[in-house]
Amino acid sequence: MGKLDGKVAVITGGASGIGEATVRLFVKEGARVMMADIQDDKGKSLAKELGAKATYLHTDVTQESDVKAMVDCAVQHFGRLDCLLNNAGAGGPMGPIEDIPTDGFDSTVALLIRGPFLGMKYSAPVMKRQGGGSIINTASIAGVRVVESDHIYSAAKAAVIHLTHSVAMELGESGIRVNCISPGFIATPIFQKAAGLTPEDFAQRLERVRNVLATFQPIRRAGLPEDIALAALWLASDESGFVNGHNLIVDGGLSNGRMWTQFQMEMGPLTEALLGLG
């Protein structure tokens, strides 16, 4: 028996990274899944690989007509909708505030805030008619703590967390749970796009990237897409039936502050200064 037997899920950004890992895990756990993305070749290939339990639909989550069609098609194809994972995303423009282009601000906000808003807007009526469901938004620890020079992405993810809290208070009364997941640094193609690398170049550098990310948090390994997929599985399943309006941080402890060893290194010079030893 799978944890999602009989359930139907829609996962945006489902063709790669965290989305792909979650699609694979949900299908393995018994769900029927519609993956929505703009990466058509990857999406169609994954749907073919996974068979009858998965289907792909080209969806630009910044476009209202696309999101409405996504929800309508999922219901028409599978007969219901039990879980929506608003996962589609990308990094925003980085750098000093005076150098950030306004169109970059607009496109980032459209993708990271408008996308989840539209997903919730159109899935809520379906889930209300069914008497329940689970909506999961992908946020980020950038919405919890400052990530240097990533102003717009951080602000957008903070908005996703607050929007999750707010909508949870409304939809919870209809039996619909609304939660979000805040990943830490996860080894996904988002780094490839930020660095301007081709998929082939990124694949060659992936192990080096993971080795670097392993040094970022107390748990000394890189975060993986599968770590976030497991968190989404729990929030989509009946095991989290009393969890609503929660931001589940999955970051190996990164957002808690400086690591113990780093703090000890910094305290050495301070101790020497206080004791007059330096």
Among residues 42, 56, 157, 240, the one annotated as catalytic is 157
Enumerate the β-bridge partners of residue 8. 32
Q: Across the chain, which distance is largest between two alpha carbons, in Å?
A: 75
Does the active-site annotation cover 149?
no
Does the active-site annotation cover 7?
no
Q: 199, 178, 177: which is closest to 188 by C-alpha?
A: 199
Among residues 16, 56, 134, 153, the one annotated as catalytic is 153
Distance CA 90, CA 153 (A): 9
Does the active-site annotation cover 53?
no
User: 189 and 196 in contact (C-beta within 8 Å)?
Assistant: no
DSSP code, position 209: H
DSSP code, position 110: I
Distance CA 116, CA 84 (A): 10
Alpha helices in 196-256, H assignment, sequence order? 199-213, 225-236
Q: 218, 147, 220: which is closest to 182 by C-alpha?
A: 147
Q: Which residues have C-beta within 8 Å of that of residue 107, sequence separation ≥ 6?
A: 62
Among residues 140, 154, 237, 240, the one annotated as catalytic is 140
In angstroms, how far is the first alpha carbon of the chain from the final one? 64
Show which residues are catalytic.
Answer: 140, 153, 157
